[in-house]
Amino acid sequence: QVQLVESGGGVVQPGRSLRLSCAASGFTFSSYGMHWVRQAPGKGLEWVAVIWYDGSNKYYADSVKGRFTISRDNSKNTLYLQMNSLRAEDTAVYYCARDLVEMATILSLTDYWGQGTLVTVSS
């Protein structure tokens, strides 16, 4: 069965960096685009970034553009989110999610989600 397991969250000071990981199993990771979506405490869902199945395209929300970098290692079935220059407003549970469509070459909806990892930005 499809499994996505995020890790790397924690408490970090404003301005510092953190890298999240998402380990995938139960499907052919290299055939699916992957997303990061976040949810601030008590708030709704906010899409953060997407990477194509082959890593050829990456897109970001304006709120994180220039600070966050999405990447993947298809040999390790792992998705990453490098978060730099963190701000208090980046505090959230970060979810990784799989594209609904295999080998999508357009923006796609998502089907499976991980359980999330909490990032708290605080001094």
Partner 1 sequence: DIQMTQSPSSVSASVGDRVTITCRASQGISSWLAWYQQKPGKAPKLLIYAASSLQSGVPSRFSGSGSGTDFTLTISSLQPEDFATYYCQQANSFPTFGGGTKVEIK
Bridge partners, residue 99, by sequence? 110
Give the one residue of 46, 82, 84, 91 binding partner 1; rule: CB under 8 A.
Answer: 46
- List Cβ neighbours of 18 (8 Å cut-off, separation of 6 or more): 8, 9, 10, 12, 83, 86, 119
| Torsion angles phi and psi, residue 6, rounded to 5 | -85, 155
> What character string, x for contact with partner 1 (CB under 8 A) and - otherwise, covers 56-75?
---x-xx-------------
For 73, other C-beta atoms within 10 Å of its C-beta total 13
Could you say whether residue 47 binds partner 1 (CB under 8 A)?
yes
> What character string, x for contact with partner 1 (CB under 8 A) and - otherwise, covers 84-123?
-----------x----x------xxxxxxxxxx-------
Could you say whether residue 9 binds partner 1 (CB under 8 A)?
no
Helix (H, G, I), strand (E, B) or coil at 67: coil
DSSP secondary structure letter of residue 26: S
Could you say whether residue 2 binds partner 1 (CB under 8 A)?
no
Binding site for partner 1 (CB under 8 A): 35, 44-47, 50, 59, 61-62, 95, 100, 107-116
